[in-house]
Homo-oligomer: A and B are copies of this chain.
Amino acid sequence: MDQHPWEEPQGSGSEIAFCLMSRRSIEVCLSPLLHGCHDFSGKCVVIIDVLRASSAVITGLSHGVSAFRPVAEPDDAMYWATRGYIPAAERGGQVAEGFRLGNSPFSYREGRWAGQKIALTTTNGTRAVLLSLSAEKVMIGGFLNQLAVVHQLLKFPGDVVLFCAGWKGQFSLEDTLCAGGFIAALSGYFQVSGDPAVAALALYKQHEHGLEQAVSGSSHYLRLASKGLADEIAFCLKRDLFNIVPVLMEGELVARSD
């Protein structure tokens, strides 16, 4: 980022004063299997699934999709199809059997689904959303909307958990790097809390000028690149292409912007 987002925070004077006075905490949950180590109540949870659920939802909402409803299983997506939703399902990095849409960000561009609602299930990202329902607020973050998320978090009055969706419960490098990027932008205003956050920030600082190279060694990169998805990965690592934040409202992820 060329400009520090907190130089011009969006919001009223009282909100800015609040940011300066308090030292809220920011922590990182490194995997859905570790969510029991964190207490989400009263906090804002940011779900990070860079490859690719976060990136698909951010891209879709930026291209006119009305809402994404995160659901647990392909059968749930089919159920919501009977109520007017477009069903979408990813399993194992591919469009699930019997579906036409998965979690490819490219499939949600060009206004193809403008005005429609999507019921989406993915291996990792939607699972993390459904594990976060005890939080005060749930939003979706990625490299694609990092600055917009930072602005939203500066306005949120409580603590923050960055929840890395990972891959089938395992720690993933790209999500942790993205979490570290959020912390780097916010550490002046938040207390960096716990070893996962310290580690994520350190990893990000080490690789912030070579994200693509760092991620190119990750398991997820190799898995997706072998399926011809290198262009999509490069897209998901672009920063601040979009200015919206998907926020969970009554079971649906809808776009919020400043």
- CB neighbours (8 Å) of A168 from chain B are 37
CB-CB < 8 A to A203: which residues of B? 199, 202-203
Give the contact stretch, choosing among A123-131, A146-154, A169-177: A169-177
State the copy count for this chain.
2
Interface string of A67-83 (1 = CB under 8 A from B): 00000000000000000
Interface residues of A in 176-212 (CB under 8 A from B): 176, 194-196, 198-199, 202-203, 206-207
Within the complex, what minimum Cβ distance (angstroms) separates A22 from chain B? 21
Question: How far in angstroms is the closest Cβ of chain B from A245?
Answer: 26
Q: A36-B169, A170-B37, A206-B206 are in contact. Are A176 and B198 (CB under 8 A)?
A: no
5 tightest A-B CB contacts, nearest first: A173-B195, A37-B170, A171-B196, A195-B219, A33-B33
**What are 20 A-to-B residue pairs whose CB atoms are below 8 Å?**
A30-B30, A31-B34, A33-B33, A33-B36, A33-B37, A34-B169, A34-B171, A37-B168, A37-B169, A37-B170, A170-B195, A170-B196, A171-B196, A172-B195, A176-B195, A176-B199, A195-B219, A198-B217, A199-B203, A202-B203
Interface flag for A218 (CB, 8 Å) = yes
Decide: A171 and B219 in contact? CB cutoff 8 A. no
Residues of A within 8 A of B (CB): 30-31, 33-34, 36-37, 167-173, 176, 194-196, 198-199, 202-203, 206-207, 214, 217-220
**Chain B residues whose C-beta falls within 8 Å of the C-beta of A206 in the assembled complex:** 202, 206
A182 to chain B, nearest CB (A): 17
* Alpha-carbon distance A194/B196, docked complex (angstroms): 17
B residues less than 8 Å from A167 (CB atoms): 195
User: Which residues does chain B contribute within 8 Å of A37, judged by CB atoms?
Assistant: 33, 168-170
Query: What is the minimal beta-carbon distance from A134 to any residue of chain B, in angstroms?
Result: 18
In Å, the complex CA distance between A195 and B175 comes to 11
The CA-CA distance from A214 to B218 in the complex, in Å, is: 24
Interface centre among A171, A198, A217 (most CB of B within 10 A): A171
Question: Is the beta-carbon distance between A219 and B202 smaller than 8 angstroms?
Answer: no
Q: How far is the CB of A233 from chain B (nearest CB, A)?
A: 14
Report the nearest B residue to A205, measured CB to CB: B206
CB pair B199–A199 under 8 Å, yes or no, is: yes
Q: How far is the CA of A199 from the CA of B31 in the complex (A)?
A: 14
Q: A33-B33, A167-B195, A173-B198 are in contact. List 15 more A-B contacts (CB 8 A).
A: A34-B34, A34-B169, A37-B168, A37-B169, A37-B170, A171-B195, A171-B199, A176-B199, A195-B218, A195-B219, A195-B220, A198-B218, A202-B203, A202-B206, A202-B214
